Amino acid sequence: MTPSDGLHGSSLPTPAEAIALQKELAGRVRLCPLPARVRVVAAADLSYLPSKELIAVVLAFSWPSLELLETAHVRRPVEFPYVPGLLSFRELPAVTAAFEKLRHRPDVLLCDGQGLAHPRRFGLACHVGLVLDLPTVGCAKKRLCGDHDPVGTEKGCRSVLTLQGDPVGYVYRSRTGVKPIYVSPGHKADLESSLDLVERCVRRYRIPEPLRLAHNTVTRLKKNAHSP
DNA sequence: GCGACAG
DNA sequence: ATCTTGTCGC
């Protein structure tokens, strides 16, 4: 899949066209358990520069030890506005570009944003997974849409996130006393295996280690992009 | 019309 | 996401 991902045309899609594209592409997302054999997990994150540019980074880790194996990043101009629900059209190009620089071929990629827990069931993680044809999991710090019962305050508590009556993800308390995170499957993943993977990625902080380190890395790259 | 609204 | 200092708490 490449010509119809909405980002390889001569011009970028308008918000209206992007929405139509999501409705079409959502039908190609596969909901199934993550691979039984995972050896490498990756995480992507990005940061915006004041110059209308952004830096995307992808880190690869061994699984389940989570030792850093490789880092790749790209810097490029931002070409799509931020519109709630259309985040992937803004970040996907940079994420896939950074991913292609990786020498390792991750078994699964963690994305900083929603997957299925999206108005049209096509969040960033779904779009990235479809374009790369790779299992992906969405892990967001805030809710975009959906409803759920209150989540217990203890580490490990979770509530199903539903949209129009359908389960689309989990609201998960990764650490006691902190705000919960939103986990939803991207491509070639499902609710249970996605949450299981994320749970096993949590160490001492609220954000799963791979994404936390990806964030630290991109923040570092940004700092050095100012002084040089 | 009044909120809600990933990064 | 980003612009920003100090401050409260483990």
Asked whether residue A5 is marked as a ligand-binding residue, the answer is: no
Q: In this structure, is the CB of residue A144 within 7 Å of any atom belonging to strand B? A: yes
In chain A, the largest separation of any two C-alpha atoms, in whole Å, equals 52
- Dump pLDDT digits (tens) for A63-106: 999 999 999 999 999 999 999 999 999 999 999 999 999 999 99
The first and second tokens of residue A126, run together, are: 């779904």
pLDDT exceeds 90 at position A57: yes
Between CA A213 and CA A168 the distance in angstroms is 26
- Identify residue A3 by its one-letter amino acid code: P
Supply the DSSP symbol for A28: G
Check residues 48 to 67 of chain A and report those whose beta carbon is under 7 Å from nucleic acid strand B: 48
Tell me the mean pLDDT in the region A106-132.
Answer: 98
- Cβ neighbors of A163 (< 8 A, separation 6 or more) are A117, A119, A121, A145, A146, A147
Q: Residue A21: what residue type? A: L
What is residue A177's predicted lDDT score, i.e. its pLDDT? 94
The strand pairing partners of A218, in sequence order, are none
Express as a percent the part of chain A with pLDDT over 70: 95
Confidence of residue A227 (pLDDT cuts 50, 70, 90): low
Which CATH superfamily hosts domain A15-226? archaeoglobus fulgidus dsm 4304 superfamily (3.30.2170.10)
- Distance between CA A184 and CA A169 in Å, rounded? 4
Q: What tokens does A137 get? A: 């999991």
Report the pLDDT averaged over residues A188-204.
Answer: 98
Phi, psi of A130, deg, nearest 5: -65, -45
Q: How far is CA A42 from CA A9, A15, A25, A180, A182, in A?
A: 28, 29, 23, 22, 18
Residues 98-127 of A with CB under 7 A from strand B: 112-114, 118, 123-124
The pLDDT of residue A5: 66
